[in-house]
């Protein structure tokens, strides 16, 4: 039960982090044009961000949300940033800094201790899951729009870096505007679902995040009040 409660907390923190990143002033950029705050991060040759010596990973992640205007990156990096911020807000900061020491933000590169899990079944996704919209007929002049990683915020609301917060059809319409001439295949939501290892991360939570939090439970009960909500192992299943 404590692990389930922690998962509910972390999922809500991931949703909050996605909304906060959307409002932070960060910009979309390719790896070639990526930028970061040099006080906290070193920009690598490939467009990644490596935490600077003397700066903790927690300080670096927090600065992205505080000084967003100094940052630009692509959508996969945005998802990892959202996940890190959600975890930071859910576990002890001292544990976060130890687990994610020598942090590098680059595409889907992530510290192995985040232990991202990938499963099939996007129709069963719940808030806090990472999903992917594919754009198979993308224009060769706009390859950065070949797909969009998103955070599911609620039943039909997704945050995609560079696109914003939109329903699924809005994400698809945005991607379709960047298809090649005479394209015949629409962008679509793929079946992959990604989420962190909640059970593993729960051991680093402060005591209060292993207990029932009314606000988090309310978040889940409101979102799924019309559904049957079952938990098998570390995975949640929703049936309307």
Q: Which of 149-153, 180-184, 223-227 has the lowest mean pLDDT?
A: 223-227
Q: Can you tell me which residue has the tokens 């706009």?
A: 142
**pLDDT tens-digit map of 27-85:** 999 999 999 999 999 999 999 999 999 999 999 999 999 999 999 999 999 999 999 99
Residue 18: the pLDDT is 98
Residue 232's pLDDT band, with cuts at 50, 70 and 90, is very low
**pLDDT tens-digit map of 91-123:** 999 999 999 999 999 987 776 778 999 999 999
Q: How many CB atoms lie within 10 A of CB 127?
A: 20
Q: Report whether pLDDT(235) > 80.
A: no
Q: Which of 159-173, 207-221, 226-240 holds the top average pLDDT? A: 159-173
CA distance 198 to 156: 23
**pLDDT tens-digit map of 4-14:** 999 999 999 99
Q: Report the number of secondary-structure helices (H) and strands (E) in the chain.
A: 7, 14
The pTM assigned to this predicted structure is 0.86
CA distance 108 to 97: 20
Q: What angle, rounded to 10 degrees, do the helices at 75-88 and 2-22 form?
A: 130
Q: Can you tell me which residue has the tokens 């899990």?
A: 117
Residue 3: the pLDDT is 84
The Cα diameter of the chain in Å comes to 57
The answer to whether the beta carbons of residues 180 and 140 sit under 8 Å apart is yes
CA distance 35 to 30: 10
Write the burial class of residue 234 (CB in 10 Å: 0-12 exposed, 13-18 middle, 19+ buried): middle
Tokens of 16: 């909050």
Tokens of 212: 């029932």
pLDDT: is 219 or 183 the higher one? 183
CA distance 107 to 128: 19
Average pLDDT, the chain: 88
3-state helix, strand, coil in the chain (%, to 5): 40, 25, 35
């Amino acid at each position: 039960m404590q692990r389930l409660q922690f998962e509910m907390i972390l999922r809500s923190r991931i949703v909050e982090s996605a909304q906060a990143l959307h409002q932070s002033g960060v910009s979309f950029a390719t790896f070639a044009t990526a930028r970061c705050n040099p006080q906290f991060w070193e920009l690598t040759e490939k467009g990644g961000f490596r935490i600077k010596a003397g700066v903790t990973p927690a300080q670096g992640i927090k600065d992205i949300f505080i000084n967003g205007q100094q940052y630009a990156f692509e959508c996969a990096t945005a998802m990892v940033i959202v996940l890190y911020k959600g975890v930071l807000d859910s576990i002890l900061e001292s544990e976060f800094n130890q687990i994610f020491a020598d942090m590098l933000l680059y595409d889907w590169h992530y510290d192995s201790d985040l232990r991202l899990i990938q499963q099939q079944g996007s129709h069963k996704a719940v808030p806090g899951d990472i999903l992917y919209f594919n754009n198979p007929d993308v224009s060769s002049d706009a390859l950065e729009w070949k797909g969009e990683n998103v955070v599911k915020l609620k039943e039909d609301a997704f945050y995609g870096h560079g696109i914003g917060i939109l329903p699924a059809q809005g994400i698809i319409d945005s991607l379709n505007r960047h298809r090649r001439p005479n394209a015949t295949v629409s962008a679509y939501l793929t079946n992959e679902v990604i989420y962190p290892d909640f059970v593993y991360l729960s051991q680093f939570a402060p005591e209060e995040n292993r207990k029932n939090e009314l606000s988090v439970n309310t978040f889940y009960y409101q979102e799924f009040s019309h559904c049957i909500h079952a938990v098998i192992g570390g995975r949640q299943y929703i049936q309307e």
